[in-house]
Every structure is written in structure tokens, then in C-alpha cells.
Homo-oligomer: A and B are copies of this chain.
Amino acid sequence: MTKESLLLTDLYQLTMLQAYFDHGITKNAVFEFFVRDLDKRKFLIATGLEQVITFLENLKFSADDIDWLKKTGLFKSDFLDYLRELKFEGSVYAMPEGTIFFSNEPILQISAPITQAQLVETRIINMLHYQTLVASKAIRMHFAAPGKQFIDFGLRRAHGAEAGLLAARASYIAGFAGTSTVLAGKSFGIPIFGTMAHSFVQAHDTEIAAFMNFAESMPNNVIILIDTYDTLRAINKLIKIAPILKKRGITIKGVRLDSGDLIILSKKVRKILDKNGLKNVRIITSGNLDEYALKKIYDAGAPVDSFGIGTIMVTSSDMPYLNCAYKLMEYNGIPKKKRSEGKETWPGQKQVYRYYKNGNISYDIIAMRDEIFDGEPLLKLFMKNGTKIESLPSINQIREYVMEQIKHIPDYLKDLKKTDKQYPVIISDKLKKCSDNLDKLIIQNEDI
């Protein structure tokens, strides 16, 4: 993602930049990214910061892109010369990746000359929105089926290439064991999983031939798909070949169920496996499973060890987008506020403080940057003057951080259903007052 085109943005960023440039509006601006409301989620997990920082570090228009902009006839040539030299010289405060957060809390704060801070809006939203959406969906699987293993199977129905790749990252951060997406293994060092599809079984004259051929070719990874024709017949074939494979030093590691009543089938399959000395063979299921299906399977005591979770997680199907925004909070040192109906913002540079009670998170305060509270400050400095100030945590460190936080959240945040009880997010008195004052000021300006 280091060589991406800066034209992956909304045209209005560039038309606004032309106007900023023409009129010398180049002072420092502070923008913040936040989610307005959580809707069907009880909390969100901040994800995507690493990609944002890489994007900012490499921010540069290619000569080819500038040439193309010229051809549109929309822009003046001195402005295009200016764009040619543009790079990111600002600072970035953010919640570390993996931080649990709530509505209206900024998870990223960009402070830079307004042209730079404005230009990056579209892609920054695009990057933070998607991974945060997926991580915040993926974490729910743990609450539905505690202690089970989850694997991302979602690439095929993810919305495009990047979504598939980044869903693997986001779900791993949210505690998944790994992914079927090979490139995510190469790009992020995530464990990769995979066995066989129905087509493999169908391409053989008999299921037994398919099972044998696969076991011989992948002796350390023998997981057999058993629902192509008839699950119970297939499992009996497996019982027949298990001793033959054993003699050749090959152990069957698991079976995968992809259709039918997974509760009934997994119980039957477990029974047959156990009766035939195959207690160590794991049962893996897949097939459009969401957290509600998982919970049913788990609550029924179905002996499923591992779940392949695909489409519903990578599309966050019950809530395919977050009501998120990246808004101007301050220009040239002066707090700014948007008053559009239903979309008002809290003005100014902010900090978020978190409080704990009996070891669990208890409430947050959103305060102005120059206020000091005794809670844990969540926004930390990651870039200064366009330069990363320290190395970022590894993906495994981020994942451990998520798993640690999950131990310290109250039960009502783990409830899968939408309920009225919300985590308390308090707006500081000073921030409220700043907002009220701006309302008055804007109305005064209106009257001029």
C-alpha cells in the first residue's frame, strides 16, 4: 500500500485545496476521526492506524497523477506545482491500535497545515472505517462461543481485494487464530489455514480417492471436507481409511462440516469419531455463520472446535458501515464546530480519559486537550512534524492488547443484543462550555 495513488480521494478535496491555495488559507488545522453512534455495537475496536501512518509517511503525488489532473482543466498550474511538492508535515495523536472505544471519542487527531490535513480525509476514513468495522464485528464471536477457535474465511465475498486482505488483519487483531487468505500470511505474518473445497472431492471418482489423495499430499494438514454428498456416509469412509493412513504415519487432524444442521451433525460425527478411536480429530464448521448462529451451536453443547467465519464478518453484514466522520475541530488555534442538523460536532482538540472500577472499565471522559484528568489518557502521539516518533507495535502485540482489554470489560458490553444500557461517555464541563460559546459566536457571525 506504499505506492498507492493520491487520486484515490474525493474530487472536493482537490477543489478545496485549490481554493485554500489561492486565498492563502494555509494555517494549521486539527481534524479528528470519530464514530457518531455505535448502533448495534456495544463498543468498537480502533484498528487501521498502522496503514494510516504508512499512508501519511508516503504521501506524494506521482508525476503521472499531476499530468492527469492538468488534463482535467480544473486546476491552475501554480497549484499543480504546489501539489507536486506536497508531503505530510503534521502530527498525529491516536488511540493505539486495538483500543476499545465508544461514540464521539476521537481515535485519531491530525494536526497539520489545512491543505495537508484536508487532503487525507477520504483515504483516512476509508482505512480506519473498514478495519474498525471488521474488528468490532469479529470480537463478538468470542462472546457467542467463548474459548473456541475462529478463522477468517472471508476473502471471496469481501468487498474487493483490499477488504479481503485487511479483514484478515482486523479479525486476527480481534483474536481470530488466523485466516485462509495466503497474502495476509505473507503481508502481516498471520497464521494461514486451509484444506479442500467440494470441487476437490467432485473431481475424483469416489470420495475415498479424494480423501486418500489429499492426505498423501498434505500429510501434516489432513482436514477432510465431509459434506459434499452425504456427511454421515463420508465420516464412515474416513473411519475406514484412518487405520490405512496411520500405518503410513499420517494422522487425520480434522473434519469440516459446511452445510446442514451443524448441531445435530457435529454431535453425530463426534460420537462416531470417538467410538472409533479418533478422539483427537477436531470438528471444524463453516457456512455463513454469524455470532447468533455460533451462540446457538455453543449453547446446544455442539462439539465444534473451530469455526470458519467468512462473509458475515468481512462485510459486517448486520451493520455494514459505521456512522463515522473526520471533522475540522480547530483552525489557526480557534475551535470550530459544525452545526448541521443531527450532525453537530464537539469542537476543539480533545483527549479521552478512561476510568476503572473493580478492575473493569467504568466510564470515559471526553475533555479538551488542555484539561488534565486523573484517568488514563487514550490518545498518544505517533507522528510529529511528519515523522513517526517510535516504532509501532507488532500485530501480535496489538492482538494481546485487545485480549487483555476484553478481560476488563463489564458483562453488559458482551451482550450480543442491542440494549439500552450504554457505556458512560461524559463530556467535560469545559468542552460543553466551549461548544455553547461557539454556538453563540456562530449566531453573532451570522448576523454580520
Contacts and interface: CB of A to CB of B under 8 A. Distances in A.
Contact of A8 (B155, B198, B339): B155
Interface in A205-225: 205-207, 213-214, 216-218, 220-221
A63 to B, nearest CB: 13
Interface string A334-371: 00111111110000000000000000000000000000
B195 A29 contact: no
A292 interface: no
Given A11-B194, A194-B10, A445 B186 contact: no
A159 B182 contact: no
A5 B260 CA distance: 35
Interface residues on A, range: 35 or more
Given A11-B192, A203-B114, A22 B217 contact: yes
Nearest to A347: B202
Contacts of A4: 161
Interface stretch (A12-20, A84-92, A267-275, A376-384): A12-20
B16 A197 contact: yes
Nearest to A332: B203
A150 interface: no
B15 A203 contact: no
A181 B126 contact: no
Interface of A: 1, 4-5, 7-16, 18-23, 25, 29, 31, 65, 68-69, 72, 74, 114, 118, 121-123, 125-126, 129-130, 133, 153, 155-166, 180-183, 185-186, 192-200, 202-207, 213-214, 216-218, 220-221, 227-230, 233, 258-260, 311, 314-317, 320-322, 324, 327-328, 331, 336-343, 442, 445-446, 448
11 contacts: A8-B165, A12-B180, A12-B194, A25-B204, A114-B199, A118-B200, A160-B165, A198-B327, A202-B338, A203-B336, A207-B446
